[in-house]
Structure 1
Amino acid sequence: MELTFIERGVIAALFVGLIAPLIGTLLAVRRSSIISESLAHVTLTGISAGVLIGQSMEMVQVNPLYAGFVFSLAGSLIIEKLRQVYPHFQELAAPIILSAGIGISAILMSLANSGYNEWYDYLFGSIVSVTEADLTFIMFTSLLVAALFLLFFKELVSVSFDQEFAKVSGISVQMIHFLFSFLVALVISMSMKVVGILLVGALISLPVAAALQIAKSFRKLLFWSVMIGEIAVMLGVYGSYHFDIATGGVIVVLASFLLLAVMAIKKFSVRL
C-alpha cells in the first residue's frame, strides 16, 4: 500500500523523535552537544555537493541524504582527530569544523542552480517533502542506530562517563569513539528532512535538557528525553501541517516551551 505524503512525514517524524534524543543523552554526558551543530553544517556541505554533482553530471544521480551522511561521518572523524591534536583545548574542534562547513556550503550553494524552496526544505525541514526513498533511509538508519546503541550500550555509556575506567576495563576506547561518531552522523543525516539542518542540533539537545531537570538516573534520562522529543515532534508536525509553516521551526519552538515548562514545574514543586 502506497503511503500519502503526510503519512510518510508522520512516520519519519516518529523515528526522528525517538532516535535524535537518544543520541543526545550521550552527547550531553560527554559535554559535547555543540558537536551536533558542527556536524549539521558539515552535512549541509554534503547536501550541497550532492545537489551540485547531480546538476553537473546528468548521468550521475546522487541522493543528497547519502552525500550528507558521508560528509557528516567525515566531519565527526575529523572532530575526534582535532580533539586529540588539541587535548587541552578540545572545545576548539567543533567551531573549526562548523566554520569550514558553513564556508564550503556557501560556495557550493552559490554554484548550484537550485531554487529557494529546495534549500528551504533542507535548512528548516518539511514533512511534505519526505519521499519514499527518504522514508526508507530514515527507517533503516533508525533501526541501525537503535540496534548498535543497544548492542554497545554498556561500552558507550562507560566511555562517555569515564574514559580512564573504560580503558582499565578493557574497552577499546578508540573503536567506541568511531562507533559514536558513526551514530551521530547517521542521526543528523536522517533528521534533516524533518527538522532541517539548522535546527537538528536543537532537537538533539533540548529534550535532553528538559529531561535532565526531572530524571534521577541515566535510564530515566533516556526515557524522558525520548518522551519529550516525541511530544515535540508530533505536535510540531501537526502544527506545521495545519498552519503551513516550517516543520523544524515549530518542533524546536515546542521543545523550548517544554523545557521552560519543566523548569517552571520543578521550581514550583521545590517551593511547595
Structure 2
Amino acid sequence: MIYSIFSSGFFWRAILAGGFLALACGLLGVFLVLRRDAMIAHGLSHVAFAGVAIGLLLNLLPLIVSLIICLLGSFFILKLKERAKLPGDTAIAILSSAGMALGVLLTSFKSGFGAELMTYLFGDVLAIAPTEVWLSVVLAFLVVILMVANYYPLVFMTFDREAALVSGVKVKRLEELLVVLTSITVVLGIRIVGLLLVSALTVIPAASALQLARNFKTTLILSSLFSLFSIISGIGIAYALDISASAAIVFISILIFLICLALKKLGLIKNF
C-alpha cells in the first residue's frame, strides 16, 4: 500500500500542487485574518463558481476563466467599499450572492457537465492534470514573490492603516495587491479542496498560528507549516482510505486549530 502511494505519479502531482498552495495560503491568510478580511476568500470562491460555469459552458479552461472573473470581482469589492461606502463584509456578501446566482443560472443552460462541475465544487486533487500542476506552481510562486517583495509595507498597513497612509505608504495599491493575490489563491485552491472549502485554507491555518505565536514572522512560519501539514497528510489519508481529499484536508486543519486553542487555554505551551 505504502509503495503504491509513493510510486503513483498523480499522488506526487497532488503533493506538488498542494505544497505550493499551502505556502501561498499560509502567508496570505495571516494578513487577511489580521485585517479582518477573512471572508473575502469565501466571497471570491462563490464568484469563481460563475467563472467555472462560464468555462464549462464555452469549452474554455475553467481555471483561467475563474481567475479572470475573480480578479474582476475583487476590484468590484474594492470599488463598492470605496464609492458606495459599504462595509467590507456587505460588499463581499453582495458579490458572493451575485457570483453564485450567475453560476447556477449558467449551469441550467447546458446539461451534461454536472460530474465535472462537482470536481470544481468539492475538489479532486488526485485527478489534477500536469498542466494544472504547473499552472498552480507558477501562480503560487508569483503570490509568494509579490508578498515577500512588499512584506514591510504590508505589515505596516495590516497593523495600522492610518499611520501607513500618513507615512506615505501606498495603501490603496497594497489593498489592490492583496485582493489580487487572494483571487489567485482561491483559483489555485479550486482543484485541491474545491470552491466550497477553499476559504478554509486561507483562514484556519492562520487562526491556528495566532494561538501560539507572539511575533509576526513566527505566525507566518507556523501558518505555512500548518497549511502544508494539513494538505500533505490530508492527501495521503484520502488516498489510503479512498475518501474525499478536500474534506480530509479541512478536518485536519480544524483538528490542528482545536489542538492549538487547547494548548493556549491550558497553558501547556509557551508562545513562540
How does the TM-score come out when normalised to structure 1?
A: 0.92
Q: Given the alignment, which residue of 152, 167, 170 partners 1:169? A: 167
Gaps in structure 2 of 5+ consecutive residues: 1-7
Structure 1 match to 2:5: none
* Equivalent residue number for residue 34 of structure 1: 39
Q: Distance in 2 between matches of 1:70 and 1:26?
A: 23
C-alpha contact 2:50 2:100 (8 A) present in aligned 1: yes
Contact 1:195/1:247 (<8 A) preserved = yes
Q: Name the CA shift for 1:239/1:182 in 2 (closer, same or farther; >3 Å).
A: same
Q: Is 1:83 matched up with 2:88?
A: no
Q: Report percent identity of matched pairs.
A: 30
- AA at the equivalent of 1:43: A
Counterpart in 2 of 1:59? none
- CA–CA separation in structure 1 for the residues paired with 2:27 and 2:107: 31
Residue 271 of structure 1 deviates from its aligned partner by 11
TM-score (norm 2): 0.92
Q: Residue in 2 aligned with 1:269?
A: 267
Distance 2:13 2:267 in 1: 40
Q: Aligned equivalents of 1:156 and 1:105: distance in 2?
A: 33
Task: State the Cα deviation string for residues 154-193 of structure 1 (Å, max 9, x = none).
Answer: 1222222222211222122221122111111111111110
* Matching of residue 15 in structure 1 with residue 20 in structure 2: yes
Query: Structure 1, residues 55-86: CA drift from partner, whole Å, max 9, x if none?
Result: xxxxxxx2111111111111111111111134
Q: Which residue of 1 aligns with 2:10?
A: 5
In structure 1, distance between residues paired with 2:232 and 2:148:
24
Structure 1 residues 127 and 89, CA gap change in structure 2 (3 angstroms):
closer
The residue type paired with residue 63 of structure 2 is L
Displacement of 1:88 after TM fit?
Answer: 6.0
Q: Distance in 1 between matches of 2:252 and 2:13?
A: 21
Q: Does 1:114 align with 2:119?
A: no
- SS of the residue corresponding to residue 220 of structure 1 reads helix
User: What amino acid is aligned across from residue 103 of structure 2 in structure 1?
Assistant: S
1:259 Cα deviation from its structure 2 partner? 0.7
- Number of positions where the alignment pairs a residue of Structure 1 with one of Structure 2: 263
Give the partner amino acid of 2:13: R
Unpaired segments ≥5 residues, structure 1 = 55-61
Find the aligned partners of 2:201 and 2:269 in 1 and give their Cα distance.
30
Post-superposition Cα deviations, 1:59-116, rounded to whole Å, max 9, x if no partner, equal: xxx2111111111111111111111134363321111111111101111122233343
